[in-house]
Amino acid sequence: MKHADFISAAARLADSMKQLEHAWMATKEEWSDSVSQRVEDEYLVPMHSQVQVMLDTVGKLSGVMSKAERECLHTRETGPIL
């Protein structure tokens, strides 16, 4: 049984970020002034970078946790099914 599933949550976050980016592109068609540029520069660009770093880190952590789970399995859990 898998105990540490980081990938599902990370995939949902990545999907949400894509949805936000698409919504922002549509918004920029109607709202293009200094305030919208400030929103993009101060919030959206840093958020995109932070989410990308977090997704990369989650990928690495997921690999480490999967390895740890495999190494911690009792022989009864990894042996043949009777």
List the chain domain ranges: 1-15+35-72
Strand, coil or helix: 82: coil
Q: Which two three-digit tokens encode residue 62?
A: 């997921």
- The model's pLDDT over 9-29, given as tens digits with 9 standing for 90+, comes to 999 999 999 999 999 999 999
- The model's pLDDT over 26-59, given as tens digits with 9 standing for 90+, comes to 999 999 999 999 999 999 999 999 999 999 999 9
Q: Which residues contact 10 (CB under 8 A, 6 or more apart)?
A: 54, 55, 58, 59, 62
Which ranges in 1-82 belong to alpha helices (H)? Answer: 7-30, 34-39, 45-72, 75-78
Distance CA 50, CA 43 (A): 11
